Amino acid sequence: ELGEFEHYMLKEIFEQPQSIENAMRGRFNEDEATAVFGGLNMSAKDIRKVDRIVLTACGTSWHAGLVGEYLLEEFARIPTEVEYASELRYRNPPMSENTMIFAITQSGETADTLAAMRECKRKGHPTLAICNVVGSTIAREADGGIYLHAGPEVGVASTKAFTSQVTVLTLLALYFGRMRHLSYPAGSRIIRHLKEMPRIIEETLKCHEMVKYVADKYAKNNNFLYLGRLYNFPVALEGALKLKEISYIHAEGYPAAEMKHGPLALVDEVTPSVFVVPKCGIYPKVISNLEEVKARKGPVIAIACKGDDKIAELADDVIFVPDVEEYLQPLVTSIPLQLLSYHIALHRGCNVDRPRNLAKSVTVE
Ligand code: M6R
């Protein structure tokens, strides 16, 4: 089953060109420049009424939700919140009548996500699932939903499910956007870019050798910071979670500009900062955050776009990824971070597929 791969995690990382393709299959309507979903079980009229979206999830799925929030607000202009399911289930936030809920979950069995979903459903909100495991409890109990079609994810660390969730959330933003303010040409452009992603992910995976070199160099460090802004802030959180989870290394993710509000005090010669800094509207701002770290002698590993010559002068090590539209960057920038945590874990002799203290589906609260 593992084929040429030593671990499920690596196999699943390398499956991403295919899993992303599968998440999109049959979900474009190119004539109308929008996305289509078979299982939302709601009329266009009801969906048109939605004026607020709540995304609820745990762990990596929650990080995908954060990317979803940025996508939905940018393309559909619908106010969107992302709630930890474990908090939402016991909180009682005011929710307008036309609030729609999406539970995001790979397994469809996470106890907190299920409980948060049931609470929202009981209150009468349309409650849908973005789920991988067909026929799982959350998939069955939701009013409708969207399957990831990522295939089984065996490694405890979620990898391909994350990029599939982000892909589906991009399709959702396109769908909601085209019901509102997004023009036909803008919708067509998004479809064109999305369709290129499987090939671009294939290209991204070529960073593997460089990631191995970086993992070699830093595997003994005991603290890491992960920094990114806008679409790459959730990627920083996800990179840090991956490292904690399978390498047992203390890592923290932050929006890069938050550094001076506290975390900068952690920077020293043995605390590497992983900067997710592809080309974007606020690239110069992220660079100045990076320079603040360098000025304190912190080693910097940058995830940057191919062709970015400037970054090579500033960072200690650079892992290059293809240049894509800002809203698609999480799909490419998350991949070297998955690989980095994998190789560092190998160096440290950790069980990458079955990390200590963790389970693939967390069915207890
Ligand atoms: O199956 P789910 O997506 O609901 O799982 C949620 C989290 O338990 C999960 O993403 C967890 O954080 C992963 N092990 C992270 O790699």
Task: Specify the ligand 1 atom closest to the Cα of 133.
Answer: 1
- Asked if residues 293 and 316 have their Cβ atoms less than 8 Å apart, the reply is no
Q: To test ligand 1's pocket by mutation, which of 12, 89, 154, 158 has the most ligand atoms within 8 angstroms of CB?
A: 158
- Asked if residues 173 and 72 have their Cβ atoms less than 8 Å apart, the reply is yes
For residues 168 and 171, give the distance between their C-alpha atoms in angstroms, rounded to a whole number: 5
Q: For strand 34-35 and strand 28-29, is the pairing parallel, antiparallel, or unpaired? A: antiparallel
The pLDDT value recorded for residue 239 is 98
For residues 334 and 137, give the distance between their C-alpha atoms in angstroms, rounded to a whole number: 28
Kindly state the tokens that stand for 72.
Answer: 């939905």
For CA atoms 231, 59, 273, 243, the dihedral sign is negative
In order of 65, 189, 227, 292, 333, the CA distances from 163 in angstroms are 11, 20, 19, 31, 10
Kindly state the tokens that stand for 346.
Answer: 């190998």
- For residue 265, give the DSSP letter: G
158 lines ligand 1 (CB under 6 A): yes
The pLDDT value recorded for residue 1 is 86
353 lines ligand 1 (CB under 6 A): no
- For residue 157, give the DSSP letter: S
98 lines ligand 1 (CB under 6 A): no
Q: Is residue 179 packed enough to be buried (19+ CB in 10 Å), middle (13-18) or exposed (0-12)?
A: middle
Whose Cα sits closest to atom 9 in ligand 1?
59
Whose Cα sits closest to atom 8 in ligand 1?
59
For CA atoms 337, 253, 195, 164, the dihedral sign is positive
The pLDDT value recorded for residue 229 is 97
Q: To test ligand 1's pocket by mutation, which of 106, 341, 353 has the most ligand atoms within 8 angstroms of CB?
A: 106
Ramachandran category for residue 81: left, alpha or beta (phi over 0 → left; psi -120 to 50 → alpha) = beta
Give the angle 220-226-228 at the CA atoms, nearest 5°: 155
Q: To test ligand 1's pocket by mutation, which of 61, 162, 360 has the most ligand atoms within 8 angstroms of CB?
A: 61
Alpha helices by DSSP H, listed for 206-303, are 208-218, 233-247, 283-295
Residues in the chain with pLDDT values less than 70:
none
In order of 19, 64, 309, 362, the CA distances from 72 in angstroms are 22, 12, 33, 28
For residues 60 and 238, give the distance between their C-alpha atoms in angstroms, rounded to a whole number: 6
For residues 255 and 273, give the distance between their C-alpha atoms in angstroms, rounded to a whole number: 12
Q: What is the pLDDT of residues 70-94, one digit of tens each?
A: 999 999 999 999 999 999 999 989 9
pTM of the model: 0.98
333 lines ligand 1 (CB under 6 A): no
Whose Cα sits closest to atom 16 in ligand 1?
157
DSSP secondary structure string for all residues of 31-47: TTTEE--S---S-HHHH
Residue 360 is among the residues annotated as catalytic for this protein:
yes
159 lines ligand 1 (CB under 6 A): no
The pLDDT value recorded for residue 37 is 96
**Is the predicted ipTM greater than 0.90, yes or no?**
yes
Q: Which string of b and e fits 8-32 if b means at least 16 CB within 10 Å?
A: bbbbbbbbbbebbbbbbeebbeeee
Q: Which residues touch 227 (CB under 8 Å, ≥6 apart)?
A: 236, 253, 254, 255, 256, 259, 273, 274, 275, 276, 286, 289, 290, 293
